[in-house]
């Protein structure tokens, strides 16, 4: 399956390749993009590197249950935070 922004997609192959899609994005958000400084753009590149959000989502299947990996990660973090809240010592207040 073609990945948005990386490979051509649509009925006219090559028409919406990455550069033209980026140009469309800039046109639709020209004012906001104009204000974005080079520093922010580099931060955006660093943050977007580990997780590519331009592709299709990843899902896990378990019978009739379908769950996105993103939601599964959030549920995992919730379990970790829950267990940590039970196990980690709570700081004692002054004079109590």
Partner 1 sequence: MMSEAGGGWTGAVRRRAERALPPAKLLPDTQPAYMASWIYVFGVLTVAALIVVLVTGGVLALKGPAWWHVSGTGKYVNSLHLWSVELFMFFMVVHLWGKFFMAAWRGRRALTWITGAVCFFTSIGTAFTGYLVQQNFDSQWIAGQAKDGLNSVGIGAFFNVLDFGQMLMWHIVLLPFVLSLLAVWHILLVRLRGIVPPIDAVPDPADGPTREAAQ
Residues that bind partner 1 (CB under 8 A): 29, 31-32, 35-36, 74, 77-78, 81-82, 84-86, 88, 90, 92, 96
First to last CA, the chain: 62
Comparing CB distances to partner 1, the nearer of 72 and 77 is 77
Shortest distance, position 92 Cβ to partner 1, whole Å = 7
- For residue 51, the minimal CB distance to partner 1 (Å) is 16
- Burial of residue 18 (CB within 10 Å: 0-12, 13-18, 19+) is middle
- Pairwise CA distance, residues 27 & 90, whole Å: 52
């Amino acid at each position: 399956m073609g990945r948005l922004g990386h490979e051509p997609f649509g009925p006219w192959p090559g028409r919406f390749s990455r550069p033209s899609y980026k140009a469309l994005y800039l046109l639709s958000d020209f004012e906001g993009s104009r204000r974005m400084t080079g520093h922010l753009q580099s931060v955006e590149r660093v943050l977007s590197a580990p997780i590519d959000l331009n592709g299709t989502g990843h899902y896990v299947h378990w019978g009739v249950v379908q769950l996105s990996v993103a939601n599964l990660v959030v549920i995992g973090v919730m379990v970790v935070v829950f267990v940590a809240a039970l196990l980690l010592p709570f700081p004692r207040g002054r004079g109590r």
